[in-house]
Copies of this chain bind each other. A is one copy, B any other.
Amino acid sequence: MRAKDGAKRAPTESDVARLAGVSQSAVSRAYTPGASVAESTREKILKAARELGYHPNMMARTLATNRSNIVALAISYLDNPFYAQVVRELSEKLRETGRHILLFTTSPDGKADPALEDVLSYKVDALILTATTASHELAVQCQAAGVPIVQINRESKLPGISIVRGPNELAATKIAEFLHAGGHLRYAFIGGTVESGTSKVRENAFVGRLRELGVKDVLVAHGDYTFEGAAIVTRQLLSMAEPPDAIFCASDYMAFATLDVAKREFNLKVPDDLSVIGFDNVPAASRFAWDLTTYSQPAGLLVDAAIDIIDSMIARPGRRAQRREVQGELILRGSAKRPPASA
């Protein structure tokens, strides 16, 4: 129980109290918003704290209050710029309330489930799951432990889990209508993973609307939300006897791969030979070669909604799960043919 060899022990409330000539509990109060301390006492304490270089020990505080100000974030596809954006927005917005992200990356192959124990051990205030292959068991257990959970763009059958999603049905429906109005003949959908509920929702809305419009067959493939996966699947689609001339990809990131393969390997003219539409509207979608037509899904709004839900669940633990949908819009660019007489 000796101090670590090198570094001298960090100052504690007791050290500050001694220097300021008050009790240790007074020091604690000086750092507790709303606690009753005389202003003069408080100043004396803060001065002493500054002098000693005192910083409250969050671990001790957490032990006493059961609130860590840490939010666990489980995420796989950090290479997808959309999710890099989500992480950044989340981090910055949590910081505004003094909270931080504890990162749990999961490999896209789903092998490394974020160790259950870990997220439970750290007594996180909430758990956010997004773009992750994390098992549902993780969610179940955390929920049992009373940790508020919200999933961003991830479906779930579990009743207690809150969900924030993009405009999946509406977007897919509008995209189907837009492509159909553009006079395309053969349609394909490149989804994420086979298990992805979000991808399935988009697929169903896309295929469903096309069917209503009289299109019988829509090719469906899965790019696993990865660039490489989408590239492989695009190769297969474009190698068919009658390849599609319109492809809707479940993410911009995959759409980039589709465009890449179409132009470079198949020498197709976009959008003359092939129209490609993505989903997300990441910054890169408007850049150079891509010039991608897509449906926007503002990361900032998704994050706002997620934080809002978390806060309400922390405030009222008994609260039931919430579901929110964020708005987006069809962003017209050059990668998809436009309807002849634009409505």
Q: Which residues of A approach B to under 8 Å, CB–CB? A: 4-8, 10, 53, 55-60, 62-63, 66, 68, 70, 73, 78-79, 81, 84-85, 87-88, 91-92, 95, 98, 100-105, 107, 112, 115-118, 120-123, 141, 144-146, 227, 256, 259-260, 263-264, 283, 287-289, 317-318
Check if A59 sits within 8 Å of B56, measured CB to CB.
no
Partner of A123, one of B57, B98, B256: B57
The secondary-structure label for the interface of chain A is mixed
Partner of A10, one of B7, B145, B260, B289: B145
| Sampled A-B contacts (30; CB under 8 Å) | A4-B317, A5-B317, A6-B146, A6-B317, A7-B146, A7-B317, A10-B120, A10-B145, A56-B121, A58-B121, A59-B68, A60-B63, A78-B84, A78-B85, A79-B84, A79-B85, A79-B283, A81-B81, A87-B103, A88-B105, A91-B104, A95-B105, A100-B102, A100-B104, A100-B118, A101-B103, A102-B103, A103-B103, A227-B283, A264-B288
In the bound complex, residues from chain B placing their C-beta under 8 Å from that of A283 are 79, 227
Check if A91 sits within 8 Å of B62, measured CB to CB.
no
Residue of B nearest to A120 (CB): B55
Check if B145 sits within 8 Å of A7, measured CB to CB.
yes
Total copies of the chain: 2
Starting from the known contacts A53-B144, A55-B116, A227-B283, 6 additional A-B residue pairs (CB-CB under 8 Å) come to A4-B66, A59-B123, A95-B105, A100-B104, A100-B118, A289-B289
| Min distance, Cβ A100 to any Cβ of chain B, angstroms | 6
| Min distance, Cβ A128 to any Cβ of chain B, angstroms | 12
Partner of A59, one of B59, B116, B141: B59
Check if A78 sits within 8 Å of B68, measured CB to CB.
no
Check if A6 sits within 8 Å of B318, measured CB to CB.
yes
Q: Which of A56, A120, A122, A123 has the most CB of B within 10 A?
A: A122
